[in-house]
Amino acid sequence: MKKIVLMMMLIVASLFANEWQEAKVKYVIDGDTLMLQKGTSKPFKVRLIALDTFENKFNHRVFGQLEILKNVHPMNKKNTVKKVIALGFKAQEYVSARYLHKTVKYHAYGYDKYNRLLVWIEVLNFSLIRQGWAVYYPNNQISKERKAYLLKLSRDANVNHRGIYARY
């Protein structure tokens, strides 16, 4: 029994080791949630760490994202739930066009409350923020340097009116 427990602990520890792993993007659920697959194993759900994209279907989170949109564009009367969902689809399309069926390198950080593996996909995490399709979502598991760079990219997207910061 002790050997089984030890083996399980080693497997879990290896999952979260500081090494990069590779998997293929099988499906893009939304801008920050993907299905990855290693070889012929069963696909698994991942959530990009330290960022949040708008929802692409109606749920309770849309109202919080609507408030973000109203803060970004306070005078725009087109700030609606429909607009939030449309921007969520744009984020999903952005990720699909660039990553669907491609192999990515990722770093795992553990699981969230929805049992999704929290991952950092270097180019993807940065590009979603840079293009304005995601907002920075504070997370203490990533390095200070990454946090600072994500904030810089977010400000740049805002100043240059990209993604959710675009004037519409």
Which of 18-22, 102-106, 139-143, 158-162 has the least mean pLDDT? 18-22
Q: How many CA atoms lie within 13 A of 30 on its CB side?
A: 18
Task: Give the separation between CA 6 and CA 121, rounded to whole angstroms.
Answer: 29
Task: Give the separation between CA 144 and CA 92, rounded to whole angstroms.
Answer: 27
pTM of the model: 0.86
CB-based contacts of 98, cutoff 8 Å, min separation 6: 124, 127
Taking only the tens place, the pLDDT of each residue in 47-91 is 999 999 999 999 999 999 999 999 999 989 889 999 999 999 999
What is the DSSP annotation of 59-105? Answer: STHHHHHHHHHHHHSTT-TT-SHHHHHHHHHHHHHHHHHHHTT-EEE
Taking only the tens place, the pLDDT of each residue in 149-164 is 999 999 999 999 999 9
Task: Give the separation between CA 133 and CA 154, rounded to whole angstroms.
Answer: 10
pLDDT at residue 1 greater than cutoff 60: no
The mean per-residue pLDDT over the stretch 32-51 comes to 97
- What sign results for the dihedral spanned by CA atoms 128, 134, 136, 142? negative
